[in-house]
Structure 1
Amino acid sequence: MEKIEISVLIPLYNEDESLSELHDWIKKVMEEHDFSYEILFVDDGSTDDSWNVIKGLQAKNPKVRGFKFRRNQGKTAALQTGFNASNGDVVITMDADLQDSPEEIPELYRMITKDGYDLVSGWKQKRYDPITKTLPTKLFNAVTRSISDIYLHDFNCGLKAYKSEVVKNITIYGEMHRYVPVIAKWNGFGKIGEKVVQHQSRKYGHTKFGLERFINGFLDLLSITFVNKFGRRPMHFFGSFGFISFFFGTLITLFLIFEKVYCIYTQKPFRNVTDNPLFYLALVAIILGSQLFLAGFLGELFVKQNVDKEDYTVSEEV
């Protein structure tokens, strides 16, 4: 089997107008630089003629491979499918709408193979998107930088390059495609670079993403942050909050008991404990603390049952 240097992975949804032009552009760049390559089109349940176009391209160029979902699964699912199927030493991902330039591929490949980066993310310094898209993007990039400690300007840029080892050792789901650099770092692939890339105005069709992607993206960021920090030690998360809640509930309870005993001893008037709002606050805090402890214990049992199935990334072996 021929050694493949570059796998170009293109997730798409209803992009039949641009696919042939994109394929010819990629093919031209690859042949100019004498790269051995494959092009992977992952059709995310398109309802237009995209799949027929892909089959036509494959018939003309055996280096084209196509995958079609029965229904729309999302960009993350398309990327994961392509990651699993790729054979290249370097995997380049790019969007199908011609806003990413294949002319960037040789330099991205060099940064991976020569400079030793695990992952290189594109930065569309000059964008041709409406302000309703660029402003929320800047906000989410700032939040992601602060949480992940990865200094990238554009986490969601579709144009990225990966060592094959990276894509074979990470798993993405939900809508976590925008946080692949974060997931890669937390899996031990810490040499992450950035390259300013050309962003072109959309030539055909319209964007397939709405404002809801920002809400989903924020929730996914919280999810991967929790899973990567506490996924193997859930008691550290639930137990900490459970202890704090239970401790303060117990303190309030002791205060109420002391107050009543003191009033009886000094023969001062006192009200029933149940008439004091602090009683209900203490009750809620103790119950909540107990439930958090229980959630932690159940999480630890689940982790223990699955520990034998855990996969760890081994970088070298002698």
Structure 2
Amino acid sequence: MNPNIQISLVIPLYNEAESLPELHDWIVRVMRDNNYSYEILFVDDGSNDGSWAVIKRLAARNPFVRGFRFVRNYGKTAALQTAFVQSRGNVVITMDADLQDSPDEIPELYRMITEEGYDLVSGWKKKRFDPLTKTLPTKLFNAVSRWVSGVHLHDFNCGLKAYQARVVKNITIYGEMHRNIPIIAKWNGFRKIGEKVVQHQARKYGSTKFGLERFIFGFLDLLTVAFVNKFGRRPMHFFGTMGVLSFVVGSIMAMYLIAEKLYNISQGLRYRNVTDNPMFFLALVAIIIGSQLFLAGFLGELFVKQTFKKDEYLIEEITGE
């Protein structure tokens, strides 16, 4: 972090050459009107429409512009993670490059972080200019995210967010987990999360780069985040518990079949071989699955022990010697 830089604007982009000059000028106007010290980080996610050439021109005329170009399209999460590492401002604000996020929201987002003490403030596009095929899946995703995480936001997928610098410096995102940053932040101890209604503008140039598959990936990533947060450091608690239950159930079924056969023999009753009963094979499968799950938990514990870092816990404050 650089104490001389108040705001780092992080803008991931893919094929947004037409909108970049207008977005840049709009941001600069807001920064100057409010007398903010700032930097703009453009992350070109493998564009092929000349976006990088536009970024280089902007950087040549504005010393507060920094550009990063990927060799290929890695996705929005990779672009955000790269910019988070490179950012130097005390407050980090992310926004999309398609002009659907308004830079006029920046002063209030910055104030909420610096004056109200929020760790993270997420935008809420209460009134959207998107088709029904996009808004309905979004509402469903947001509802499930609230239920799973306990983070009560209306719009997890809004690209316009503000963070204290310590938040983005102490979380790691990968895959397509940019939608779940508020959840990851909360589960890493940053619990003061706010929300602000922001203006949503209709796309001015080009077309959206995301399809309906992003909601499928979003749900899968949500499950991943939830699982890793709860069991990432104690895999035996999940796999071991499931394995023991499966093994015990299978063993009880097998012992019941054997006991039933022995009882029938002792009483001179008709009986059939244990292996002739379909329940035996279900019991056998349960025992095998239980053993494999327990082994998976054991191997997971070994992996955690090898990769664990003593300094990975976040310390809020230190006093005394």
TM-score by length of 1: 0.99
Quick check: 1:169 aligned with 2:170?
yes
Q: Which residue of 1 aligns with 2:270?
A: 269
After TM superposition, give the deviation of residue 307 of structure 1 in Å.
Answer: 2.2
Q: Which residue of 1 aligns with 2:9?
A: 8
Q: Which residue of 1 aligns with 2:35?
A: 34
Which aligned pairs between 1:249-260 and structure 2 lie closer than 5 A? Answer: 249-260=250-261
> Does the residue aligned with 1:40 lie in a helix, a strand or coil?
strand
Between the aligned partners of 1:297 and 1:140, the Cα distance in structure 2 is: 34
Between the aligned partners of 2:309 and 2:150, the Cα distance in structure 1 is: 31
The AA in structure 1 aligned to 2:115 is K
Between the aligned partners of 1:300 and 1:85, the Cα distance in structure 2 is: 33
After TM superposition, give the deviation of residue 215 of structure 1 in Å.
Answer: 1.0
> Does the residue aligned with 2:123 lie in a helix, a strand or coil?
strand
After TM superposition, give the deviation of residue 310 of structure 1 in Å.
Answer: 5.5
After TM superposition, give the deviation of residue 315 of structure 1 in Å.
Answer: 1.1
Q: Which residue of 1 aligns with 2:116?
A: 115
Alpha-carbon spacing, 1:2–1:115, altered in 2? closer, same or farther (3 Å): closer
Between the aligned partners of 2:279 and 2:249, the Cα distance in structure 1 is: 11
Q: Which residue of 2 aligns with 1:243?
A: 244
Between the aligned partners of 1:144 and 1:243, the Cα distance in structure 2 is: 30
> Does the residue aligned with 1:16 lie in a helix, a strand or coil?
coil
Query: Cα deviation per residue 1:249-308 (whole Å; 9 max; x = unaligned)?
Result: 011011101101100000101111111011001000000000000000000111111224
> 2:7–2:90: 8 Å Cα contact kept in structure 1?
yes
Which aligned pairs between 1:92-171 and structure 2 lie closer than 5 A? Answer: 92-171=93-172
Q: Which residue of 2 aligns with 1:217?
A: 218
> 2:3–2:90: 8 Å Cα contact kept in structure 1?
no
Between the aligned partners of 2:210 and 2:11, the Cα distance in structure 1 is: 16
> 2:3–2:89: 8 Å Cα contact kept in structure 1?
no
TM-score by length of 2: 0.98
Structure 1: runs of 5+ lacking an equivalent: none
Question: Number of matched residues?
Answer: 318
Which aligned pairs between 1:178-217 and structure 2 lie closer than 5 A? Answer: 178-217=179-218
Between the aligned partners of 1:2 and 1:314, the Cα distance in structure 2 is: 21
Percent sequence identity is: 72
> 2:84–2:168: 8 Å Cα contact kept in structure 1?
yes
Between the aligned partners of 1:167 and 1:306, the Cα distance in structure 2 is: 22
Query: For the aligned residues, what is the CA RMSD?
Result: 0.9
After TM superposition, give the deviation of residue 2 of structure 1 in Å.
Answer: 6.9
Q: Which residue of 2 aligns with 1:68?
A: 69
> 2:16–2:97: 8 Å Cα contact kept in structure 1?
yes
Query: Cα deviation per residue 1:9-66 (whole Å; 9 max; x = unaligned)?
Result: 0000000000000000000000000000000000000000100000000011000000
The AA in structure 2 aligned to 1:143 is V
Between the aligned partners of 1:222 and 1:17, the Cα distance in structure 2 is: 36
Between the aligned partners of 1:3 and 1:110, the Cα distance in structure 2 is: 17
Between the aligned partners of 2:236 and 2:134, the Cα distance in structure 1 is: 39
Between the aligned partners of 2:307 and 2:165, the Cα distance in structure 1 is: 27
The AA in structure 2 aligned to 1:267 is G
Between the aligned partners of 2:146 and 2:160, the Cα distance in structure 1 is: 19
Structure 2: runs of 5+ lacking an equivalent: none
Q: Which residue of 2 aligns with 1:315?
A: 316
> Does the residue aligned with 1:21 lie in a helix, a strand or coil?
helix
> Does the residue aligned with 1:17 lie in a helix, a strand or coil?
coil
The AA in structure 1 aligned to 2:78 is A
> Does the residue aligned with 2:19 lie in a helix, a strand or coil?
helix
